[in-house]
């Protein structure tokens, strides 16, 4: 087995020591996360298609979708939402501004902070993008209404978990039952 193949096939065990993927037992949580990643990854194509429909790069579409109508967001918060460096947001915003989709405004408290606010055209595009992305994936729509509610409730519990994701993904404490 070559080094690249071995590196890809080795996963960190609970003890932190490498465990070959073939010998590692996957917990139901690991399996659920793998399926959720697969579903989310498949949905990226729909996002890319929606961005392309409006002649936007996915990073531009992602930035635009984060903005609210009134106050906008400071550039550093857009960078945090996009998980990129602040310096990358400048180019993204430059292109959105050149298309008339956003404007920059100096912050009221600190004029060095630039707030990015959508224009009326930017709001139209943002809302159309959100509408295209709002529909559930077919895999979820195919579930019964009861199963959709179960999935919603389980995901809400998982998302509300107070534990930060640590080395084990924050799985040490079980989730409390969902209130009814």
Structure tokens at 35: 């399926």
Higher pLDDT among residues 174 and 153, named by residue: 153
Model confidence at 154: pLDDT above 60: yes
Q: What is the pLDDT of residues 100-140, one digit of tens each?
A: 999 998 888 888 888 999 999 999 999 999 999 999 999 89
SS3 115: strand
Residue spans per domain, the chain: 26-158
Q: Write the CB contacts of 16 (distance below 8 Å, at least 6 apart in sequence).
A: 167
Fold exhibited by the domain 26-158: Arc Repressor Mutant, subunit A (1.10.10)
Residue 71 DSSP one-character state: S
Model confidence at 15, in pLDDT bands (50, 70, 90)?
Answer: very low
Residue 164 DSSP one-character state: -
Residue 15 DSSP one-character state: T
133, 50 contact by CB (below 8 A): yes
Model confidence at 81: pLDDT above 80: yes
Q: Strand runs (DSSP E) across 6-91, as ranges?
A: 10-12, 18-20, 73-74
- The region that residue 72 occupies, defined by phi over 0 for left and psi between -120 and 50 for alpha, beta otherwise, is left
């Amino acid at each position: 087995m070559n080094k690249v193949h071995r590196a890809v096939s080795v996963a960190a065990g609970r003890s932190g020591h490498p465990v070959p993927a073939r010998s590692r037992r996957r917990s139901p949580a690991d399996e659920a996360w793998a399926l959720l990643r697969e579903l989310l990854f498949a949905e990226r194509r729909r996002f890319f298609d929606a961005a392309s429909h409006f002649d936007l790069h996915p990073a531009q579409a992602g930035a635009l979708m984060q903005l609210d109508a009134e106050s906008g967001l400071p550039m550093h918060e857009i960078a945090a939402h996009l998980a990129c460096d602040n310096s990358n947001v400048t180019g993204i915003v430059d292109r959105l501004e050149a298309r008339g989709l956003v404007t920059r405004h100096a912050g009221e408290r600190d004029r060095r902070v630039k707030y990015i606010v959508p224009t009326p055209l930017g709001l139209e595009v943002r809302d159309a993008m959100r509408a295209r992305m709002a529909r559930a994936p077919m895999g979820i729509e195919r579930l019964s209404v009861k199963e959709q509610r179960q999935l919603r409730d389980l995901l809400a519990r998982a998302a509300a978990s107070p534990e930060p994701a640590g080395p084990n993904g924050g799985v040490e404490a079980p989730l409390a039952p969902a209130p009814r």
